[in-house]
Every structure is written in C-alpha cells, then in structure tokens.
Structure 1
Amino acid sequence: MDRSTRVRVDERDDETTVDQSEQENARSCPECESASLRRSADGSELSCEACGLLLEEEAIDHGPEWRAFNHAERESKSRVGAPTTETMHDRGLTTTIDWKNKDAYGRSLSAEKRTQMSRLRKWQERIRTKDAGERNLQFALSETDRMASALGIPRSVREVASVIYRRALDEDLIRGRSIEGVATGTLYAACRMEGIPRSLDEVAAVSRVERKEIGRTYRYVSHELGFEMEPVDPKQYVPRFCSELDLPEEVQSKANEVIDTSAEKGLLSGKSPTGYAAAAIYASALLCNEKRTQREVAAVAQVTEVTIRNRYQEQIEAMGIHT
C-alpha cells in the first residue's frame, strides 16, 4: 500500500470515529439521563459513567471478515454462503448436494461413491422439510417462482409474494383452498403492491387454476391480511403495450394524455384497465398516423376487439374529437 492510499484510509477511519463520537455525544443515559457516556478500550461496550448502566455490548461488526487491497481482491472475495431469501422455504440456509458425480478435483466418482451420493441426495431432500407446513410452503414457493419467471417478474416482487404467502400460512388462510390458487393470488397481490403491470388474465395464463378462483382467493387474502389496494392505473400498461406494438414515444405520450383527459370526466370508473389502455393506444396511434388494427392491439392487451371499440368511442368523445 503506497503513502497516498494509507493517508486516504486513515482519513476515512478518522471520519468514522468522529461520526461515532458525535452520535454518542448526542445520546444520554435512559436510566439517569446523564450525557456522560464512556466506551471501553476495545470499543465493544458503551456504559454510563454516572450510574454504570451498560447501553451497548458486543457490537456487531457488519464488515467483511477478510481484507482486500485492490479491486481484483475485492471482486474475488465475498462473504461465506449465499444471502438469505424468502423465496425458499428454509430461506436458503440448508445445504444442497450437487447432482454432478464429481469430486473437488473434477474427477468422476466410482460406482460405489455414486450410489452413496445418490442415497445422500435422497435423504437430503427428505430432511429439508420436517412437517406438512414446510412441504406446503416448499411447493407453493416453487410454484410462485415458476409463474414469476414465466411473467418476467423481478426478484424483489417474488420476495414480496413469498412473504405474503408465509403470512397467509401463519394466519391459517390456506385451509380449504388449493395451494396453487393461494400462491397465484399472493403473486398477483405482490404485483399490485409493487406497481408491476400484470393483469389477472396474464397471471391466470401461467397458473394451473382458473381465473375465477384466483380473483376470489386474491380478494379473500387481501381482506384478511388488511391490504389496501389502490385501483390499477391504465397508464402502467401503456409502455409495455406500445413496446410490443413497436410504437414510438409520441404515441405513448398521447395515450397517457387520452387516459388522463377521459379519466377526469369519470369514464375510467368500473372499466378494465387493460382494455382502457388498449383503446387509448389505438386512438393515439390513429391520431399520430401510426395506425394499428384493433385486432393487433387486442392481441397484445389480451382483450376483445369489441372492448377496444367501445372504450375508443368514449375516449374520442371525451377528447372532443369528431370522427
């Protein structure tokens, strides 16, 4: 390490020490309200000098357990083990035995060792779930991950869906309902909560249960867990639909304008957001000379052409345009 690097490291350490001391000076003892606090020599304990109350003990070091002096070392080293995740029933804490029948040096195992490893894998899978509740959770989370992958839903939304399902399982909301139905309902709820534009028809297309059951389960779980869901904004679907139809930015901006203008006049109430967005895109494409047929727009939005025609007429009248 050269001289300039050591100086920068020392400056950062000094800044950290100053920030920590300022925070301690702003604190007071909750017992006697004295501001005279003292930290031990090794920095693991913080106590009050007036009454002796111990405020902090064995502070956790959240930094890495290794040292790195250049970019290559920082990239090659990491904390031990994978991060915990809610998308696995055991939160990813248990070990797994690789399916490859090779040792640490990449050499193939003997027939006797392969038989032994196969038996170990079988028992490893059996002991990962200790009761029916964990087996239920394992199957449901695997279904959630499968559907989320098919819908292109990001990892953060999958985590939210997994947390919602865990809460439903703890509240005993699964009883009397299919695991697939509740898993699909919680995934749709997570999409609604995180603002991911996925319609109920799109979710039902990748699920193994019917649309009616998904909607019924979603409403039940949302009510029992106290979720306050806002109505879906049709503008959330506009960018994706325009991208699939290969329409320019001008059409997308015009579609948002059509939706805002018509919604102010109360036309959005009780309407399907996907059908409303599809009609706005169809109207905007005509106004911007980027014509797309009703069949093309309906196929992308997964609605009927009749829905687009009905919403289109309402929106055009609301815009004050005569065709």
Structure 2
Amino acid sequence: MTSLLPLPVHPHGEKMKAETKCPNCGDNVTIRDYKQSTVVCENCGQILKEEIKDRGPEWRAFDQKEEQNKSRGGPPVTETIHDKGLATLIDFKNYDSKGGKLSSERRQVAYRLRKWNKRARISNSAERNLAFSLSELERMASQLGVPRSVREIASKIYREAVDEDLIQGRSMEEMISAALYTACRRAEIPRSLNEIAEVSRVPLKKIVSGYRFMCRQLDIHLPPVDPAMFVSRFASKLNLSGETKVMARQIIRKAREENLTSGKNPTGIAIGAIYIASLKCGERRTQEEVSKVAGVTSVTVRNSYKNIAEELNLTVLKEEKYGS
C-alpha cells in the first residue's frame, strides 16, 4: 500500500526514526506518525506499519517554554513524601550495577554514603516530624483503601497547616487524621469519622476537634455529606441487590426533601435507609449485621430507621418478626 501524503510530524515536534527498510524504494529512513499510528517511509511515503504504540510523554506542549516546564526525568513530584520524591535513594544491597558483590573497601564507602544520604534527607526536626506524619497518613489511607489522589490532597492540606504553624500544641496524629478526613470530604470519598478513628491512633473526639480547628484556621468550606454516598459501599458489604440500593437512595432523597437529614449523622441516615430498603425488598439483614458494616451501634440503626419510617409514612415489616 503506497501513500504520497506529506511527511508526518510527531505530536511533540519530534521525528522518530525507525530501523525499517522500505520494500518500495529501499530507503532505510522511516518516520513514526503517532497521530495516525503508522510508520511511513520518508522518501516515498509508503505506510510500512500500522497501529504502533506512542512512546512519547503523556503530556502535550504547544511552545518551547511549556515543553521545558513539563519535561522531567524520573517519577513525578508527590506531596505524600516529605521531600516530595526529589531525594536520591541508595539501596542497602551490596551489589554493583552488574550484579556482582562489592569488595570490602567499596562496602565501607557505600555504608558511609547511605548514612550521610539519610542524614541529608532529614536534616532537622521539622522534616523529621513531616516524614513521620506523612508515613502515618500513608498507613491510614492504605487501611481505608482511599485512592492516591486523596492522599495527595491530604498531604497538601497538612503541609498548609504546618506552614501556618497550626500543629503546635496538638498531636501530629490528630492533625494528619483531620487532614485525611478533610481530603475525603473534598474528594467526595465516603469515609466517616468513625472509620477514620478506627485506623487512627487518637480518639474520635480529638479528630473532630482537629478537623474543626483546621477548617476554621485554613478557611476551608465543605458542603454537607450526602448520605447517598455511603449506600453503594455499605450495601455491597451486606451483599444486597441493585434494587435495594436504588430504593435506599430513593428513601434518602425523600428524607432530604423533608429536611430530615439536616444536622443528622449521614452514616446513620444511610444505614437506616438501607435497613428499610432491605426489609421492603425481602433481603432481610439484622440490625446487628447492618450496624457492623457502618461502625455504629444497633441502637443507632433502630432509632434512624424508625425516625425515617415515621416521618415519611413508610410501611415496613415489624421489627419483632425478624428480631434485631
């Protein structure tokens, strides 16, 4: 197949030459056209290969200045490491680049390099405290299963708190837990304060206090938590069907229209709606089972579902028939 189209241009302004001989003219100079995903001969324009992979960067630049700002080597900068991932790490294995063992003299040199590199990475108490706090954030976020983007947001919020000297007089665990909860709220990731407290090393009361203090001092304004955000995760843990999930969301929407969610615990509202929907759809779950997935007590489930059922005039099967 021969094409007399003009020579293609790389999306980033580069010509990528390939070692492929053209069967038409015998020329060895070929160009990869990443817009068309083809390899073409520079001399005659014949298409030599189709559906090639783009090996260029994931970003685009429209001028030289933008290209210089975006170009990088190595992994991108991250807020989740105290030095933002810019420091050099020296491996503790005493092997060279070819896999051979280091001699005793070179092992001593490598040991000194590791020691001074570690000291250079954390040179003062502020960096030491930041490294400890961000490692604690990584531990809690891993247990909660939150995505990397939320960890980046939490790290940035905590760094702002450190810059404003808000950590003084409060524990680092308290403030990093508050930053993680704030990041979950900002990213609309359904994680309750009780869940944060379960993986944190400080009590719930201190996390709430730190969260309010941080939002007030950093001027952070977050919308109220939507109870419907918890429905999918809680219902999936209870192995409920999609029909039950849809009905639970409908109950929450009606409760919101009647202003029943204002000032109430969103987790309690969500779990009460799920319990009602499970009874209506014939997928009975006991109050104890429902309370465990949300980290609340059976009393909270009972009070929540009774309040919703009475205010919305919902007819549900009697609790005594199934037990709690």
What does 1:55-204 correspond to in 2, within 5 Å?
Answer: 59-62=65-68, 80-204=73-197
CA distance in structure 1 between the partners assigned to 2:11 and 2:133 by the alignment? 51
Which residue of structure 1 aligns with residue 208 of structure 2?
A: 215
Change (3 A) 1:6 1:94: farther
105-114 or 91-100, which deviates more: 105-114
Q: Does 1:225 align with 2:218?
A: yes
CA distance in structure 2 between the partners assigned to 1:115 and 1:298 by the alignment? 58
SS at match of 1:267: coil
How far apart are residue 187 of structure 1 and its match? Answer: 0.8
Match of 2:238 among 241, 245, 250: 245
CA distance in structure 2 between the partners assigned to 1:196 and 1:149 by the alignment? 14
How far apart are residue 194 of structure 1 and its match? Answer: 0.8
Which residue of structure 1 aligns with residue 260 of structure 2?
A: 267
How far apart are residue 60 of structure 1 and its match? Answer: 4.3
Q: Deviations over 1:270-308 (max 9, x none)?
A: 221111111110100111111111111100011111111
CA distance in structure 2 between the partners assigned to 1:63 and 1:214 by the alignment? 39
**Which of structure 1's runs of 4+ aligned residues deviate more than 6 A?**
10-13
CA distance in structure 2 between the partners assigned to 1:315 and 1:182 by the alignment? 35
CA distance in structure 2 between the partners assigned to 1:105 and 1:270 by the alignment? 64
Which residue of structure 1 aligns with residue 27 of structure 2?
A: none
- Is the Cα contact below 8 Å between 1:247 and 1:290 reproduced in 2? yes
CA distance in structure 1 between the partners assigned to 2:118 and 2:306 by the alignment? 58
Which residue of structure 2 aligns with residue 292 of structure 1?
A: 285
Change (3 A) 1:96 1:283: same
SS at match of 1:216: helix
Change (3 A) 1:224 1:130: same
- Is the Cα contact below 8 Å between 1:101 and 1:108 reproduced in 2? yes
Greater per-residue helix proportion: 1
SS at match of 2:65: coil
Q: Deviations over 1:13-55 (max 9, x none)?
A: 7xxxxxxxxxxxxxxxxxxxxxxxxxxxxxxxxxxxxxxxxxx
SS at match of 1:137: helix
Change (3 A) 1:314 1:125: same
How far apart are residue 3 of structure 1 and its match? Answer: 5.6
Q: Deviations over 1:210-254 (max 9, x none)?
A: 111111011001100000121111111000001111111111110
How far apart are residue 317 of structure 1 and its match? Answer: 2.3
> What is the one-letter code of the residue matched to 2:118?
E
CA distance in structure 1 between the partners assigned to 2:314 and 2:64 by the alignment? 71
CA distance in structure 1 between the partners assigned to 2:5 and 2:110 by the alignment? 50
**TM-score normalized with structure 2 length:** 0.76
CA RMSD between the two structures: 2.4
- Is the Cα contact below 8 Å between 1:89 and 1:137 reproduced in 2? yes
Which residue of structure 1 aligns with residue 247 of structure 2?
A: 254
CA distance in structure 1 between the partners assigned to 2:201 and 2:282 by the alignment? 41
Q: Does 1:9 align with 2:15?
A: no
CA distance in structure 2 between the partners assigned to 1:319 and 1:106 by the alignment? 71
Gaps of 5+ in 2: 14-62, 317-324
CA distance in structure 2 between the partners assigned to 1:10 and 1:105 by the alignment? 36
What does 1:24-35 correspond to in 2, within 5 Å?
Answer: none
Q: Deviations over 1:76-115 (max 9, x none)?
A: xxx5211111111111111010122221112233344334
Q: Percent identity among equivalent residues? A: 48
> What is the one-letter code of the residue matched to 1:256?
R
Match of 2:295 among 260, 279, 302: 302
Change (3 A) 1:156 1:4: farther
Residue correspondences, number: 266
- Is the Cα contact below 8 Å between 1:258 and 1:280 reproduced in 2? yes
**TM-score normalized with structure 1 length:** 0.76
Change (3 A) 1:287 1:4: farther
Q: Deviations over 1:148-197 (max 9, x none)?
A: 11111111111111111111111110111111111111111111111111
CA distance in structure 1 between the partners assigned to 2:235 and 2:106 by the alignment? 56
CA distance in structure 2 between the partners assigned to 1:180 and 1:319 by the alignment? 42
- Is the Cα contact below 8 Å between 1:261 and 1:318 reproduced in 2? no
Match of 1:278 among 264, 271, 274: 271
CA distance in structure 1 between the partners assigned to 2:231 and 2:117 by the alignment? 47
> What is the one-letter code of the residue matched to 2:226?
D
SS at match of 2:9: helix
> What is the one-letter code of the residue matched to 2:138?
D
